[in-house]
Amino acid sequence: MPPPVAEPVIRKEVYITPQDLTGFIVSLGGVKFWAVAIFPMYVGWVLAQPDGARRLFIDDLAIVLGLAVVGPLLGTFTLLLNTYYDMETTDRVNPRKQYVRVIEDLIDRETVRYTAWGFAAIGLLLSAFISANLVRDRSGPLGGYGFLLLMVLTTVLSVVYSHPAVRLKGVAGADLVVNVLGFGVICPLAGWSLLQPVDAFPLWWLLSAALFVGASYAPTTASDVESDRAFGIRTLAVALGTNRTMLLGFAQLVAAVAILLLGGAAHWFPFSGDAANAVAAIWPFLVAQIALYAIFLRRPTQGKIWALILLLTVLQGLAVLLFLYLFTGNRAYP
């Protein structure tokens, strides 16, 4: 009897261009996504610094590790978890998510999930270490563990945003609230909590920051409206339509700028001390955002929406950095 003939094994040969590989690494790590969380946390840290010791330069291990938690660790967790649940549906037709095809060629879907939760576990472990060993002021009601609590809340928000059992990203309005809470409230509070109790943060500033985030997030749902509608994900833009969603974002921006100008005119903290007259220096960058948004409201397209988001990010970054420079008494270093 002749020996059995082994069946041929067909192996899939994958061709990946350098551009595909680069896009995969950047998207998998969420480098672009990290900055959205890192910057407001950094702002909160600078605002919490005591008078006389304020500086822009990062020279504190607590904030260095804290930024690693909120960006490379929990930021990557959020991105990968969202990718895990969407990579077989809406991400396939979303122009912003072209890297999903590369992920499918390189690693299986379960690996994405395991990796996501691995990043979450490391992020929470490091958060506990920071709260237990590096937080300076432990006088607040949370006894120095405010940072850990905020990072736990961030993890919960990431789960309820993407998990099919809740999937707040598909609940019109809830998708906006989750992002406003995560980036506009939790991130600034996290930076502040490394130096001062959470309950001491100026609430009026927090409201303005949250509205700025809402103004930037609303257009992103408008840009993804076609792919989300195709798979029945009822985001804010799917429910309201592109034009109304853009108008909502515009209204939030106007409110955010108005609150900031009001606080500056009244010299509410942090518009006090060295930054008492900061509004006189930064108001053109605030008003320019409103003018720019108004121009882009006319017949918005996906390309115009992303151009608007990019330009708003630049203007907001310039305004905040200029303000922080004045707030620290023109000191980049201690």
Average pLDDT over residues 116-122: 94
Residue 152: half-sphere exposure toward Cβ, Cα within 13 Å: 8
Mean pLDDT of 15-27: 55
Instruction: Report the phi/psi class of residue 30: left, alpha or beta, with left for phi > 0 and alpha for psi in -120 to 50.
Output: left
Tokens 């904030």 label which residue? 63
- CA R_g for the chain: 22
DSSP 146-212: HHHHHHHHHHHHHHHHH-TTT-GGGSTTHHHHHHIIIIIIIHHHHHHHTTS-GGGS-HHHHHHHHHH
In which residue are the tokens 């291990």 written?
Answer: 61
Give the pLDDT of residue 19: 57
pLDDT band at 97 (very low <50, low <70, confident <90, very high): low
pLDDT at residue 329 greater than cutoff 80 = yes
Q: Quick one: DSSP state of residue 2?
A: P
For the segment 61-77, the average pLDDT, to the nearest whole number, is 95
- pLDDT at residue number 226: 79
**What are the backbone dihedrals phi and psi of residue 280, each rounded to the nearest 5 degrees, phi first?**
-60, -25
Say whether pLDDT at 9 is over 50.
no
pTM score, whole prediction: 0.88
At 11, the pLDDT band (50, 70, 90 cuts) reads: very low
| pLDDT value of residue 143 | 87
Asked if residue 334 lies in contact with residue 59, where contact means CB atoms within 8 angstroms, the answer is yes
Tokens standing for 270?
A: 């942090």
Enumerate the H helices of the chain as residue ranges.
18-29, 31-47, 61-68, 74-86, 99-106, 109-133, 146-162, 174-179, 187-193, 203-223, 225-230, 236-240, 242-265, 279-296, 302-327
Q: Is the pLDDT of residue 108 over 80?
A: no
Q: Are 159 and 117 in contact (CB under 8 A)?
A: no
Task: Average the pLDDT over 218-244 and give the result.
Answer: 85
pLDDT at 2 exceeding the cut of 60:
no
pLDDT band of residue 22 (cuts 50, 70, 90) is low
Residue 103 has pLDDT above 70, yes or no: no
Q: Residue 151 corresponds to which amino acid?
A: M
Q: Which amino acid is at 123?
A: G
Report, as an integer, the average pLDDT of 278-307.
93
